[in-house]
């Protein structure tokens, strides 16, 4: 006899997940505190991801169908993968903006600045590092290239990012660099 799937009695957390997943974008935007707004969005996304894994459960399947209608017939993509390297993105954005300011800011100057930063970053990423291959690091292996070079499109994507928090972070960093303010251990 095949093993029976767990029923509704074995999944008491499903109603809570459905409640969390039903949070709309309007409800999230209505929250005044940015921290709570991010928390609501993260809770909603986690609940949707968990419910997608429980799609064999009939009530969940019906809810996911309704959720797909809310998102234009497609369920939202599951979150995952490597986290964005925010610090590196910020440094690249600041370098591009500084290069654009040095050049004058016309359209051709913007393209040239992006190309310059892409080339400089590519040269920077060609550095080599050695890794031990033998026991206790006695033998050194052939040098390995480090991270892949930054692509032109990636830098353009960073430059064209319209997220208000991102634009604020870039503006603050540019202002701190112009005023040469440093926060860190004193000399």
CA-CA distances (angstroms) from residue 127 to 71, 90, 105, 130, 173?
Answer: 45, 21, 31, 10, 27
Determine the average pLDDT of the residues in 66-83. Answer: 74
Confidence of residue 37 (pLDDT cuts 50, 70, 90): very high
Q: Output 37 or 161, whichever has higher pLDDT.
A: 37
Residue 115 has a pLDDT of 83
pTM over 0.75? The answer is no
């Amino acid at each position: 006899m095949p093993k029976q799937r767990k029923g509704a009695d074995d999944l008491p957390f499903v109603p809570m997940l459905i409640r969390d997943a039903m949070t709309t974008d309007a409800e999230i935007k209505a929250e005044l505190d940015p921290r709570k707004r991010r928390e609501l969005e993260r809770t909603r996304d986690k609940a949707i991801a968990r419910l997608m894994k429980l799609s064999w459960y009939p009530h969940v399947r019906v809810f996911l169908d309704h959720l797909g209608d809310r998102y234009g017939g497609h369920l939202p993509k599951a979150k995952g993968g490597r986290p964005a390297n925010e610090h590196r993105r910020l440094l690249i954005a600041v370098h591009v903006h500084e290069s654009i300011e040095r050049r004058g800011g016309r359209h051709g100057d913007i393209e040239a600045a992006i190309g310059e930063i892409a080339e400089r970053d590519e040269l920077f990423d060609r550095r080599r590092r050695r890794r031990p291959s033998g026991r206790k690091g006695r033998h050194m292996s052939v040098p390995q290239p480090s991270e892949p070079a930054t692509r032109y499109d990636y830098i353009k994507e960073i430059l064209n990012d319209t997220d208000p928090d991102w634009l604020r972070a870039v503006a603050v960093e540019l202002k701190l660099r112009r005023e040469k303010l440093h926060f860190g251990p004193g000399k």
